[in-house]
Amino acid sequence: MPAVEPGHGSSGTAGPVPYAERPDSLSERELLIRVRDSKDQAAREELITRYLPLVKSLARRFASRGQPVEDLVQVGSIGLIKAIDRFDLERGVELSTYATPTIMGEIKRYFRDKGWAVKVPRALQDLNVRLNRVIEQLTVELHRSPTIAELAAATQVSEEEVVEAMESGRAYSSVSLFSGGNAEDDESLELLDVLGSEEEAYEVFEQRRMLAPAMSRLDSRERLILHLRFFEGMTQTQVAARIGISQMHVSRLIRKSIENLRQFMAEDEALVEAARGRGKV
């Protein structure tokens, strides 16, 4: 943060307002007025300095999600700046009240963008997120999985866009799959919370000869999804309702789990082949 001298740093359209005292001695309201009225950079920077601990605190809440906290602080700072610039003094709320969701939103958006394995147009990403919600809503209303036409009507886009957005959703990184029910959730989806009661079911799963060695290498979440879909015979919609996530999410999880199984099976096969090769020597 650059040092700010009194009288320097005002660059707003209303012209610089001379400082009678250092910005750090001004009240929050006085600083906000300067930002609003004269786009005062020094006042803005002072507010950023004061609220940086809030940004760091919020960033640390996402520390377990695989991104450096320093990066998250940077991203959160962008949210803070937006909050400062957009803050309405007449609303009668504290800046902290307004800034917190803005900072959180910026960090979550960062995770969402990071989660896309290939570049997908933002509009499609957004539609995909909307579809997640709408599918859940319509499934409850209709007591069945919705059709593409119904989704198109509900989201007011064409059926082609729905198909395209759903396909683009498959580009969503599997890394993010377990970090949230969908990208807009405020809190992590604690999928593990629902797993405890399913442990006994795995015994049945493990006893089946299908993929038994590789199955044991899946994590518990993946095994649960596969168990419900392929051994309990639940539809994707039923699995979604059971676990409390969207059908699209279940679809992705099934593919990810099956792909992991394939990899494990291929690795096991390679090990067997290597052992055979060594035996012949």
Binding site for another protein (CB under 8 A): 135, 144-152, 159-160, 162-164, 166-167, 170, 209-211, 229-230, 233, 235-237, 247-248, 251, 254-255, 258, 261-262, 265-266
At position 60, the amino acid (one-letter code) is: R
d(CA 215, CA 257): 9
Nearest approach in angstroms of CB 145 to another protein is 4
Q: Is 95 left (phi over 0), alpha (psi -120 to 50) or beta?
A: alpha
Shorter beta-carbon distance to another protein: residue 40 or 150: 150
Q: 196 is written with which tokens?
A: 């405890």
Shorter beta-carbon distance to another protein: residue 166 or 245: 166
CB-based contact 133:151 (threshold 8 Å) = no
Shorter beta-carbon distance to another protein: residue 26 or 154: 154
Nearest approach in angstroms of CB 125 to another protein is 16
Shorter beta-carbon distance to another protein: residue 58 or 151: 151
Q: Which candidate, 168, 72, 67, places its Cα nearest to that of 121?
A: 168
Shorter beta-carbon distance to another protein: residue 8 or 133: 133
d(CA 168, CA 116): 9
CB-based contact 130:154 (threshold 8 Å) = no
Shorter beta-carbon distance to another protein: residue 10 or 236: 236
Look at residue 69 and give its three-state secondary structure: helix
Look at residue 10 and give its three-state secondary structure: strand
Nearest approach in angstroms of CB 260 to another protein is 11
Q: Which candidate, 264, 261, 229, places its Cα nearest to that of 245?
A: 229
Enter the DSSP assignment of 145: P
CA–CA distance from 193 to each of 132, 188, 196, 226, 254 (Å)?
A: 21, 11, 7, 17, 19
Nearest approach in angstroms of CB 247 to another protein is 6
Nearest approach in angstroms of CB 113 to another protein is 21
Q: Which residues contact 151 (CB under 8 A, 6 or more apart)?
A: 131, 134, 135, 138, 162
Shorter beta-carbon distance to another protein: residue 98 or 202: 202
Cα first-last separation, the chain: 67
Shorter beta-carbon distance to another protein: residue 17 or 265: 265
For tokens 């992991």, the residue is: 260
Nearest approach in angstroms of CB 38 to another protein is 52
Nearest approach in angstroms of CB 121 to another protein is 15
Nearest approach in angstroms of CB 105 to another protein is 29
